[in-house]
Amino acid sequence: MLVHIPNVLNRDQVQQFRTLMDAADWTDGNQTSGAQSALAKNNTQLPEGSPLAKQLGAAILDALGASPQFVSAALPLKVFPPLFNRYQGEQSFGLHIDNSIRILRGSDFRIRSDLSSTLFLSDPDEYEGGELVIQDTFGEQRVKLPAGDLILYPASSEHLVTPVTRGVRVASFFWTQSMVRDEAARRTLYDLDTAIQALVPVIGNDDPQAIKLTGVYHNLLRRWAEC
């Protein structure tokens, strides 16, 4: 399941992020790569655990917590602290699959990576190339979103970033361990929640069928969730 979540960050927040990031020191992106990814990866990153990365990452986590769509789609149990990358001058990231377990360096924090996220911090007209290409059972999807928008997709998907041939592509990326491990169950819950949210304004919160559907949602979540 791919979910496009618009406006996770507003325009003012994106501008603030970019001002701080443009003045930062960037390092080789392979500092956070697994063995397979290191062979395909060519970009730069904000140093993991740097004060700026922590500051911006905390702001993103706050924004995710305030996003009903993200919470509904991901049903997050734990979110890895967001990382930040930059592509320019033909840099790219070849076909790869994200590591199944992500460990925060210097701590005992670890997650199972059920879902991957890319939060775009450059608008599409700022660069050429740089598409996120995701390959899974839903076919190939090519993603290039407005700054502030996020794409959520299965971490088990093969994916790549095409070469950036003009300008600079800046983004945040991170992983989520969901309360609902099974992807099909998570999709069912998201579809049901989306349908309920669309129906309630029409029939009202106190309608017996709305109450019954909401009960079905929570009983399924109770059955499938691990927390």
Convert the pLDDT of each residue in 31-70 to its tens digit.
Answer: 655 555 556 789 999 999 999 999 999 999 999 999 999 9
- Rounded Cα gap, residues 14 and 18, in angstroms: 6
CATH of the domain spanning 3-178, picked from 3.90.700.10, 2.60.120.620, 3.40.605.10, 2.40.50.140 = 2.60.120.620
Convert the pLDDT of each residue in 122-174 to its tens digit.
Answer: 999 999 999 999 998 878 999 999 999 999 999 999 999 999 999 999 999 99
Amino acid letter, 204: G
Tell me whether residue 65 is exposed, middle or buried, using C-beta atoms within 10 angstroms of its C-beta: 0 to 12, 13 to 18, 19 or more: exposed
CATH code of the domain made up of 183-224: 4.10.860
pLDDT at 38: 57
Pairing assessment for the beta strands 150-154 and 115-120 based on DSSP bridges? antiparallel
pLDDT at 216: 97
**Residue corresponding to tokens 């990031």:** 21
pLDDT at 35: 53
- Domain residue spans in the chain? 3-178, 183-224
Are the folds of 3-178 and 183-224 the same?
no
